[in-house]
């Protein structure tokens, strides 16, 4: 079984490192302690083994098996089933990677099932073990610490997204086009996915605090949960602001692209007008010259002394008249 860490605690102190679940359960019973089992990408059979050992509710086990759950918290008797969506910002691709973390929190045990490398629960465990008075408060202390870690890891993700938003704002009026539109769309999608991961935490934490008196939640843990709630609210507020900015940026970019296309069309139209105007101006002399270039025997103008000068004058007059007309209409 992919057990990352398996320990039994009494009064906040680690007393046993069981080699398997059977030993964990035995040490819990013998010492009236709390077990904390960390699993990484377990198989369905391994999850069923944990479920049988700790009498986990079938519906919660089904959710843990299916994966791809939204962030939520549900109570099954005296066991809390929690789904969290940790996140990590990837600088190389300017994207956000989301993990999935399942927690079963019972009266005397915590089972964590990770489907990604984040969050770093080993750090959470070490921090709690350095505070035995806090760890002694039971499984709820572990839940509060993990919630705090997940939300703290949201901070660099928010900063990364804010940097991307700033870059888009700087590029907006200098580089409009399909590439920028695609980047704005992709970033908007990342922000929306992040909102779906973070926003449910507000309701989850508020629900835990509402039930604090009913389930005798320690006062210090209540303070910790309120602190986490404050951080979540700040994260969701920033995400909402970013989403609004990106929606506006997408609209502005579309407007700028439309204006650029309109300006290009107008410029092309002006060129067409000028070309058409010169073609019309040259048509008059061409017509006269074509007529006089015909090789017919009986053409009265051939023997007329003034025929050639008058033909030239007609050509020039036609061209000048057309030029004046087009100039008045701003075609030239």
Cα–Cα distance measured from residue 43 to residue 121, given in angstroms and rounded to the nearest whole number: 20
Cα–Cα distance measured from residue 207 to residue 212, given in angstroms and rounded to the nearest whole number: 9
pLDDT at residue 207 is higher than 70? yes
pLDDT at residue 308 is higher than 90? no
pLDDT at residue 175 is higher than 70? no
Q: Assign 15 to helix, strand or coil.
A: strand
HEC per residue, 146-202? HHHHHHHCHHHHHHHHHHHHHHHHHHCCCCCCHHHHHHHHHHHHHHHHHHHHHHHHH
Average of per-residue pLDDT values in the chain: 85
Residue 176 pLDDT: 60
pLDDT (mean) for 118-144: 93
pLDDT (mean) for 38-55: 90
pLDDT category at 273 given cuts 50, 70, 90 is low
pLDDT (mean) for 226-237: 96
Phi, psi torsion values for 313, nearest 5 degrees: -65, -40
pLDDT (mean) for 62-73: 88
Cα–Cα distance measured from residue 117 to residue 100, given in angstroms and rounded to the nearest whole number: 9
Residue 292 pLDDT: 63
Residue 266 pLDDT: 56
pLDDT at residue 331 is higher than 70? no
pLDDT category at 320 given cuts 50, 70, 90 is confident
Q: Which of 147, 150, 119, 153 is nearest to 207 (CA)?
A: 147
- Threshold 0.85, pTM exceeds: no
What the block records as the tokens of 160 is: 């990364």
pLDDT at residue 195 is higher than 70? yes
Cα–Cα distance measured from residue 322 to residue 126, given in angstroms and rounded to the nearest whole number: 90
pLDDT category at 314 given cuts 50, 70, 90 is confident
Residue 284 pLDDT: 64
Q: Assign 138 to helix, strand or coil.
A: coil
Residue 287 pLDDT: 62
So what CATH class is 1-141?
alpha beta
> Quick one: DSSP state of residue 70?
P
Q: How many CB atoms lie within 10 A of CB 85?
A: 22
Tell me how far CA of residue 266 lies from CA of 173, 259, 331, in angstroms: 20, 10, 13
Q: Are strands 13-16 and 101-105 parallel, antiparallel or unpaired?
A: unpaired
For the chain, which residues make up each domain, given as ranges?
Answer: 1-141, 260-328
For the structural domain made of 260-328, what CATH number should be given? 1.20.58.340
pLDDT (mean) for 163-190: 83
Cα–Cα distance measured from residue 8 to residue 13, given in angstroms and rounded to the nearest whole number: 8
């Amino acid at each position: 079984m992919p057990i990352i860490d398996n320990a039994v605690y009494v009064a906040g102190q680690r007393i046993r490192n069981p080699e398997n679940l059977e030993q964990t359960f035995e040490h819990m019973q013998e010492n009236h302690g709390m077990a904390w089992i960390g699993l990484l990408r377990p198989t369905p059979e391994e999850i069923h083994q944990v479920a049988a050992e700790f009498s986990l509710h079938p519906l919660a086990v089904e959710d843990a098996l299916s994966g791809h759950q939204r962030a939520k918290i549900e109570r099954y008797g005296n066991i809390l089933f929690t789904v969290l969506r940790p996140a990590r910002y990837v600088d190389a691709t300017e994207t956000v990677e989301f993990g999935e973390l399942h927690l079963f929190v019972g009266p005397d045990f915590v089972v964590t099932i990770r489907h990604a490398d984040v969050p770093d629960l080993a750090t959470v465990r070490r921090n709690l073990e350095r505070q035995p008075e806090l760890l002694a408060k039971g499984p709820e202390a572990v839940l509060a610490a993990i919630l705090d870690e997940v939300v703290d890891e949201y901070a660099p993700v928010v900063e990364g997204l804010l940097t991307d938003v700033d870059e888009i704002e700087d590029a907006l009026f200098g580089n409009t086009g399909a590439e920028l539109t695609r980047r704005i769309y992709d970033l908007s999608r990342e922000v929306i996915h992040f909102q779906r991961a973070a926003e449910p935490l507000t309701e989850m934490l508020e629900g835990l605090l509402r039930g604090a008196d009913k389930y005798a939640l320690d006062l210090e843990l209540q303070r910790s949960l309120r602190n986490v709630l404050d951080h979540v609210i700040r994260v969701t507020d920033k995400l909402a602001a970013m989403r609004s900015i990106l929606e506006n940026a997408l609209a502005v970019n579309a407007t700028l692209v439309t204006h650029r296309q309109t300006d290009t069309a107008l410029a092309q139209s002006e060129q067409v007008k000028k070309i058409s105007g010169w073609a019309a101006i040259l048509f008059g002399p061409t017509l006269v010259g074509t007529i006089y270039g015909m090789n017919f025997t009986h053409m009265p103008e051939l023997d007329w002394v003034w025929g050639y000068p008058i033909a030239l004058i007609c050509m020039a007059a036609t061209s000048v008249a057309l030029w004046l007309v087009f100039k008045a209409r701003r075609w030239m």
